[in-house]
Amino acid sequence: MEVIITSDYEEMSRISAELIAQEIRYKHDIVLGLATGDTPVGTYQELIRIHKEEGLDFSKITSFNLDEYVGLPPLHPNSYNYFMKENLFNHVNVNPANIYVPQGHIEDPEHFCFWYEAQIQKAGGIDLQVLGIGRDGHIGFNEPGSSFASRTRIKALYKETIEDNARFFSHQDDVPRFAVTMGVGTILEARKILLIANGEKKADIVAEFIEGPVTSQITATALQLSKSATVVLDQEAASKLKRTEYYNWVRDNKHLVQKKVGR
């Protein structure tokens, strides 16, 4: 796992957006996995800037979002469908036919989950999966105890997740108790993974998932099993890591390795 520690939220967003942009430039018809939440908002804003000012072309990309609340229609302002339109899709030249966000307001969610997995396979699998992390260590809505083999399915949300997400709703009781989420197994099949995290409230879980043992109790530790995972953090989220000096040395001397192995 490559760990990049940045000075603040702005630099974290700039670097993660540049990593995504590089992948889009390299493969125009890339399949992206996308996350919602506070963390990637700055990254999406920077991607929009790169699109507008530098012509980054989204027209051939396909994207699959990680999750959606069960019960919220796509036009609900707290739905992740709405979030993605507001924060990215409405501002870049994506083809709406190639945009997939799980639907939470449907009669047969289980059937939907099978269909969603099949669409990911049909698209050739995810090239780059973008992730945030919950305070309980979740990726997507894979709450503690989720199997590392899990696929897209309905998951009951953990108490901490409901509390954290209550800020977007008028009352905590309005926060849906269930979500459709890609599984840990689905996420692990991505060819590359980029997890971003910021703020002091993520410091404990960031240290645990990067430097602690692999456990389904902290589903983000599954990234230790990924073929290619990069974590971009701000100073605060990185503050409880023990091997900071090593990560910074690798970051500053990466060019030495890249010269030897190429891209």
| Catalytic sites, residue numbers | 67, 136, 138, 143
Q: Is 37 in the site for ligand F6R (CB under 6 A)?
A: yes
- Of the residues 9, 19, 30, 67, which one makes contact with ligand F6R according to CB under 6 A: 67
**Residue 162 or 250 with smaller CB distance to ligand F6R:** 162
Distance from C-alpha of 112 to C-alpha of 115, rounded to nearest angstrom = 5
Q: Is 36 in the site for ligand F6R (CB under 6 A)?
A: yes
Angle between helices 41-54 and 80-87 (to 10 degrees): 40
**Which of the ranges 110-118, 119-127, 129-137, 239-247 carries the binding residues for ligand F6R, by CB under 6 A?**
129-137
Q: Is 134 in the site for ligand F6R (CB under 6 A)?
A: yes
- Of the residues 33, 140, 176, 183, which one makes contact with ligand F6R according to CB under 6 A: 140
Distance from C-alpha of 35 to C-alpha of 55, rounded to nearest angstrom = 23
Bridge partners of 230, per DSSP, are 2, 194
Find all residues with CB under 8 Å of 30, minimum gap 6, and list them: 23, 24, 60, 61, 62, 127, 128
Q: Is 187 in the site for ligand F6R (CB under 6 A)?
A: no
Which among 131, 35, 47 has a CA at the least distance from the CA of 91?
A: 47
Q: Is 139 in the site for ligand F6R (CB under 6 A)?
A: yes
Q: 206: burial class by Cβ within 10 Å (0-12, 13-18, 19+)? A: buried
Paired sense of beta strands 99-100 and 153-156, if any: unpaired
Site string for ligand F6R, 47-66 (x = CB under 6 A): -------------------x
**Which of the ranges 4-12, 36-44, 114-122, 186-194 carries the binding residues for ligand F6R, by CB under 6 A?**
36-44
Q: Is 63 left (phi over 0), alpha (psi -120 to 50) or beta?
A: beta
Q: Is 39 in the site for ligand F6R (CB under 6 A)?
A: yes
Q: Are 209 and 167 in contact (CB under 8 A)?
A: no
Give the interface size with ligand F6R as a residue count (CB under 6 A).
Answer: 14
Beta carbon of residue 117, minimum distance to ligand F6R (angstroms, whole number): 17
Q: Is 42 in the site for ligand F6R (CB under 6 A)?
A: no
- Of the residues 104, 132, 176, 183, which one makes contact with ligand F6R according to CB under 6 A: 132
Bridge partners of 178, per DSSP, are 156
- Of the residues 138, 153, 155, 192, which one makes contact with ligand F6R according to CB under 6 A: 138
**Which of the ranges 31-39, 56-64, 103-111, 238-246 carries the binding residues for ligand F6R, by CB under 6 A?**
31-39
Beta carbon of residue 209, minimum distance to ligand F6R (angstroms, whole number): 12
**Residue numbers at the binding site for ligand F6R (CB under 6 A):** 35-39, 66-67, 80, 132-134, 138-140
